[in-house]
Amino acid sequence: MIGLACVLPLLVGTVLLGGGTELSGRTATRAGVVGALATLVLLVIAWSTHAVVDVPWLPALGLRIHLGLDGISGPLAVLAAAVTAAACLTTWGERPRGGSRATFVGCLLITLAGAVATFAARDALLFVVAFELVLVPMWVLITRFGDERDPQARREAGARFVLYTGFGSTLMLLGVLLLVSSAGTADLRALGAARGDGLGTATQVTIAVLLTLGLAVKVPVWPLHSWLPLAHTTAPTAGSMLLAAVLLKMGTYGLVRLPLATVPDGFATIAPVLAVCGTVGIIWGGLVCLVERDLKRLIAWSSIAHMGFVALALATGSDTGVAAALYANIAHGVISALLFLVVGGLKHQWGDDDLRTPRAALREGAPVTGLLLLVGLAAGLGLPGLAGFWGEFAAVIAALSPAADRPDLLFVCCAVVAAVGAALAAAYSLRVARLVWLGEGHSADEDAPAAELPRTNLLAGGLLALAVLVLGVLPGLLLAVTDPALVEVVTR
Amino acid sequence: MAWMLLALPCLTAALAFGLARRGSLAALVAVLGSATTLVLSVVALAGAPTGARGAPFAEGQGSGPGSTLGGIDLTLQLSLSTTSAFLVLVVVLVTLLVQTYSAWYLADDDRRGVFHASIALFAAAMLMVVLSADLVLTVVGWEVMGWCSYLLIGHWSRREAPRRAGHTAFIVTRIADIGLLLGVSVLIAGAGTSGRAEVIEHWTSAAADPGTRSVALVLVVIGVLGKSAQLPFHDWLLDAMEGPTPASALIHAATMVAAGTVVLAQLLPLLLRAEPARALLGLSVAATMVLAAICALVEPDLKRLLAWSTISQVGVMLAPLAAAGTGPTAGAALGHLYGHAIFKALLFLTIGWLAVTRGSTAAGALVGSGRSHPVALLAWAAGLVSLAGIPLVLGGLTKEHVIAAVGEDVGARGLVAHLVLGSLLVTVVLTAAYATRALIVVVLGGEQRVRARAVMPAAVSGILVVLAVASIVGGLALGGRLPDAGHVPLGLFVLVLALVLLGVAVGYALSHLGVQQRLVDGRAGRAVGAGLGVGTLQHLVVVRPVTALARLVAFLDREVIDTYVRAAAWGVLGAGDAGTTAHRRSRPASGLALLGGGLLAIAVITAIVLVGAS
């Protein structure tokens, strides 16, 4: 079942790619949505029945196809499938420019296949392979279907995305190889259960540094973040949604599964650095958001700030921290998908996304779009009752009581700074709300009132907003799922 | 029961929001929902258990969906006691009246449905704070309330001023909330659970570090000062007057500004053990209550006068928490919360009607307006009598309790307690003076006879009469429902009466001699009208530096961090070009160079890995 869940989107994606211009756009969108939803159903069944696939793939290299979902990877895989379905849905009303729609949707589905395989992989090498698979369709999405105004910038963004994250992946590959060769197994569960037993301190630290550096590029953790704003500015709406809700999650998931679980002592040594970088990212991202001029870029920067909370929570190494990080991870996935959907749609509508141009108030002309934007912004600033609050509040609590082998004072300072960052989030979210939702500086009779996004986008956005609300009101649902699985990655 | 009390207003909000496009239907749903909640809260009050002594909020008897977040126990419980049920009743009563009033006040507003929904959600958030037996739930209610205030204050978002006011209100309280969030986090992280009963037990035990406890409580107090609009955070509440008047009534009366009092009363056992936190609270409220009362005396706009009065009265409300002994602290504070809620709601709703008849809230425009309708006259007078603290009426009774609680063996409690007591007594005089001023302007002022009788809908006059009666005789409801507020000795009673009379005399003399008018029109009035320039100060001290820092960070990111990345990308592309060129030439030397370079790279990486592995 879990194997099928990985293969299905790959298959549908390949067919769509092969179909190219032969297929009509509508068929492509339908196939994409149905494919992603079917994957979602398969994932839920596989997850609830604990389905596992374990077959040798390349015995010479010791590479196995070993797939299975647990309480940590399950929610992420489901999120990826759901967001992909939403992203496919947006192509109905917002025709991709620069190529056929079938190619576009095919790339989305192949990204999903890679992401599901990444989350389900129980073999360290398979994890790396799946992790890399995602780069290719994403590169196509950025360079071929990106912002049509500036082909040069599109190419540069695509190149930088691939080079930068490819560089990170190389480091990660080195780390994984070193880990597998020194521990003697590539089974992630066995590695996690061993907790790095039998590895010397120096080895542990080297592995942890390589893995953390490599994955931090993907997360991204400050100061390795520069690829993200550029990629988001250029990527099409659906691409941005996947980038934020799926690709970044693979980075944080990797951090939990690899350095944190397999080399805890090594990770503990570098955790203070990660915590400081995460905290700097929170403030850095928040401050840039206060002066950023491009709306989509601003949301990308806010992602960096939110991922700072996740990095900080992971660095604490306590079970509270990991639970917080996982919650914040899922929450950010849903929230950023919602925000990019709305913001990308607006950019499409406006033709550009410069915030210095006064815009007609969404509240007046397009109340539904406005509501979706407002829900996204409120969740982004950590309003309780919406998804963003629990993970980030818990991250602060975790930083105030880190695991025993962490320097207390440093983490307390990080907690204080992170709390200040939460206020910055309010400042930039309200800045966007005032400019776009309330139409600051735009006189009512100047020109046409704001228009709603296409219906399909509103439907996808509405479902995401509902998910934001449910995750915010009933945190117990997700916590109950995650909690039993924590024992696999952290000492309780 | 507690969850029902919370669910009902949430449901009302959802329904009203769903029906938002059909404004009058949404209003009907909102009013009916609040009425049902009111009935339910009366039932709840009748059946609620009395909290144990020292724990009037009955934390121990909560119910809720427990959950764990890693190593932290999230109890997420609500609890119901006589005290919390009584506060719920006050909140729900004010909400019902405000909902009904808004149905009239915003009858022509195309977004009234959303307004009703926001009011219902706002009330639900306040109920959550009151009923919460869990620190996380307290934070949830607290923040949601802040968000609703943003929506309510900025309701008329087609105009610039409400947009700015809503923005300021949210940002200022959010900055103060950094303190609350951190303080609560420290408490939860130390106790390993978010249940208030367990948190209090942990932090009052011998194992708790007193220093950390004090720091946590100081942080919580900072959050409370922000939400309660005390110095130095008072500015947002004045700007908030840009919101619709019913929203102001709700924010000022039973919710938002009073939430801090409830939270500190809930955390009282910890607060009493954290002297620095009490000292900070004491200094702030002592300064705030006097300053705000003076400002109310010279404020040119009557609605803003009420706002200044709220700031001052919330200071009075917090005074026992800052400076009273262990006995009557919570009772006195919560009692004044109740009294203030009733008379301040009355005053706001009355001035809302008066302003509709005259088209402005400026004192100059409202001169003599009270005489246009007997109910308005009665309501305005009753509210002001209660505000001034004439003994035996509700406001007077609760104020005397506060003074008695702070005054009780004040000698044993140091300098700050003395300061707070002194400020309280001065505030009594000033409050009576500005109440007299407000009465004279609206009721006596104006030479011309008011002929036209303005129309007042039956619902509005009903609301005003209910609140006016409650403002006078509401003290009868106090009884044993709130914790013991102490008793008022005869000497104090006489003293307060004398001070109030002095204040009335001062107020009368000021207007009679014309000094009042000169003050209001002069430089003092202008300064107060501009909020004492605190907004400008905040702009200078917070907004400008943060923006400058943000520009610096954006510059650094673009010019420093990004440079490496660009350089790397160029480097790779350049190397690629060089490789292509070399390949084209296909000379043995270039082939050798490529091979050598590749080998070198492999060797370096292998060496790094080997060093790491050993």
Both tokens of B506, joined, read: 């001062």
Q: Residue with structure tokens 């009534």?
A: B249
Question: For B394-414, what is the mean pLDDT?
Answer: 85
Distance CA B126, CA B122 (A): 6
List, as one string, the DSSP characters of A227-258: HHHHHHHHS-HHHHHHIIIIIHHHHHHHHIII
- CA B252 to chain A, closest CA, distance in angstroms equals 22
Least confidently predicted of A409-418, B208-217, B367-376, B516-525: B516-525
Q: Which residues contact A474 (CB under 8 A, 6 or more apart)?
A: none
Q: Do B181 and A164 touch (CB under 8 A)?
A: no
Least confidently predicted of A40-49, A115-124, A465-474, B587-596: B587-596
Chain B contact present for A198, CB below 8 A: no
- Give the total residue count for chain A: 492
A249 touches A179 (CB < 8 A): no
Q: What angle do CA B271, B276, B277 make, to 5 degrees?
A: 45
Q: Do B612 and A202 touch (CB under 8 A)?
A: yes
- The pLDDT value recorded for residue B446 is 64
Q: Residue with structure tokens 């630290």?
A: A205
Percent of chain A with pLDDT over 90: 34
Q: Report residue B480 CA to chain centroid gap.
A: 27
Q: What are B163-188's pLDDT values in tens digits?
A: 888 888 899 899 999 999 999 999 99
Residue A66 backbone phi and psi in degrees, to 5: -125, 105
A55 touches A64 (CB < 8 A): yes
Strand B67-69 relative to strand B72-74: parallel, antiparallel, unpaired? Answer: antiparallel
Q: Do B67 and A327 touch (CB under 8 A)?
A: no
Both tokens of A370, joined, read: 């406005």
Q: Is A153 exposed, middle or buried (0-12, 13-18, 19+ CB in 10 A)?
A: middle
Least confidently predicted of A434-448, B112-126, B274-288, B495-509: A434-448
Question: What does each C-alpha distance from B157 to A440, A466, B207, B398 come to in angstroms?
Answer: 9, 26, 52, 38
Among A291, A442, A470, the residue to mutate for chain B (most B Cβ within 10 A): A291
Of the candidates A374, A351, A354, A375, the one whose C-alpha atom is nearest the C-alpha of residue A362 is A374
List, as one string, the DSSP characters of B536-573: HHHIIIIIHHHHHHHHHHHHHIIIIIHHHHHHHHHHHH
Residue A478 corresponds to which amino acid?
A: L
Q: What are B133-162's pLDDT values in tens digits?
A: 999 999 999 999 999 999 999 888 888 888
Helix ranges (DSSP H) in A351-440: 362-365, 367-380, 388-400, 408-432
Q: What are B569-608's pLDDT values in tens digits?
A: 777 778 878 877 777 766 666 677 778 888 888 888 888 8
Confidence of residue A446 (pLDDT cuts 50, 70, 90): low
Both tokens of B114, joined, read: 């959303």
- CA B612 to chain A, closest CA, distance in angstroms equals 5
Question: What does each C-alpha distance from B443 to B307, B349, B388, B436 come to in angstroms?
Answer: 20, 16, 16, 10
Q: Do B188 and A397 touch (CB under 8 A)?
A: yes
Of the candidates A374, A164, A424, the one whose C-alpha atom is nearest the C-alpha of residue B171 is A424
Chain B contact present for A226, CB below 8 A: yes
- CA A211 to chain B, closest CA, distance in angstroms equals 13
- The pLDDT value recorded for residue B357 is 83
Least confidently predicted of B127-136, B411-420, B530-539: B530-539
Q: Which residue has the higher pLDDT, B194 or B53?
A: B194
Q: What pTM, to 2 d.p., does this model score?
A: 0.91
Q: Do A389 and B143 touch (CB under 8 A)?
A: yes
Q: What angle do CA B353, B356, B360 make, to 5 degrees?
A: 115
Q: Which residues on chain A are in Cβ contact (under 8 Å) with B174?
A: 423, 426-427
Q: What are B471-516's pLDDT values in tens digits?
A: 888 877 776 677 777 788 888 889 889 999 999 898 888 887 877 7
Chain B contact present for A187, CB below 8 A: no
Q: Residue with structure tokens 């809720």?
A: B64
Least confidently predicted of A20-24, A201-205, A405-409, B504-508: A20-24
Of the candidates B445, B531, B539, the one whose C-alpha atom is nearest the C-alpha of residue B171 is B539
Among B182, B199, B551, the residue to mutate for chain A (most A Cβ within 10 A): B182
- CA A321 to chain B, closest CA, distance in angstroms equals 7
Distance CA A3, CA A226 (A): 35
ipTM: 0.90
3-state secondary structure of A66: strand
Q: Do A288 and B557 touch (CB under 8 A)?
A: yes
Q: Do A385 and B144 touch (CB under 8 A)?
A: yes
B66 touches B75 (CB < 8 A): yes
Nearest-by-CA chain B residue for A217: B565
Question: For B235-259, what is the mean pLDDT?
Answer: 87
List, as one string, the DSSP characters of B479-524: TTTSPP-----HHHHHHHHHHHHHHHHHHHHHHHTTHHHHHHHSHH
Distance CA B228, CA B547 (A): 27
Query: Residue B611: is its pLDDT beyond 80?
Result: no
- CA B572 to chain A, closest CA, distance in angstroms equals 8
3-state secondary structure of A353: coil
What average pLDDT does chain A have?
Answer: 87
Distance CA A207, CA B608 (A): 11
Q: What are B288-301's pLDDT values in tens digits?
A: 999 999 888 888 88
Distance CA A444, CA A449 (A): 8
Of the candidates A105, A99, A104, A97, the one whose C-alpha atom is nearest the C-alpha of residue A33 is A105
Across the interface, of A323, A363, A400, the residue whose CB is closest to B186 is A400
Q: What is the 3-state secondary structure (H, E, C) of B216-231?
A: HHHHHHHHHHHHCCCC
Q: Do A397 and B71 touch (CB under 8 A)?
A: no
Q: What are A175-227's pLDDT values in tens digits?
A: 999 888 888 888 888 888 888 888 888 888 989 999 999 999 888 898 888 88
The residues that bridge with A141 in the sheet, in sequence order, are none
Of the candidates B95, B90, B87, B93, the one whose C-alpha atom is nearest the C-alpha of residue B58 is B87
Confidence of residue A278 (pLDDT cuts 50, 70, 90): very high
B351-380 b/e with 16+ CB inside 10 Å = b? bbbbbbbbeebbbeebbbbbbbbebbbbbb
Residue B395 backbone phi and psi in degrees, to 5: -60, -40
The residues that bridge with B68 in the sheet, in sequence order, are B73
Of the candidates B310, B343, B348, the one whose C-alpha atom is nearest the C-alpha of residue B466 is B343
For residue A223, whether the previous peptide bond is cis, meaning omega lies within 30 degrees of 0, is yes
Which conformational region is residue B410 in: left (phi greater than 0), alpha (psi within -120 to 50 degrees), or beta?
alpha
Query: Residue B10: is its pLDDT beyond 80?
Result: yes
To 10 degrees, what angle do helices A151-183 and B588-613 make?
50
Q: What angle do CA B361, B121, A430 make, to 5 degrees?
A: 75
Question: For A373-395, what is the mean pLDDT?
Answer: 91
Both tokens of B163, joined, read: 């947009």
- The pLDDT value recorded for residue B234 is 85
Q: Residue with structure tokens 């995401």?
A: A464
Q: Which residues contact B372 (CB under 8 A, 6 or more apart)?
A: B357, B450, B452, B453, B454
Residue A449 backbone phi and psi in degrees, to 5: -70, 165
- The pLDDT value recorded for residue A303 is 92
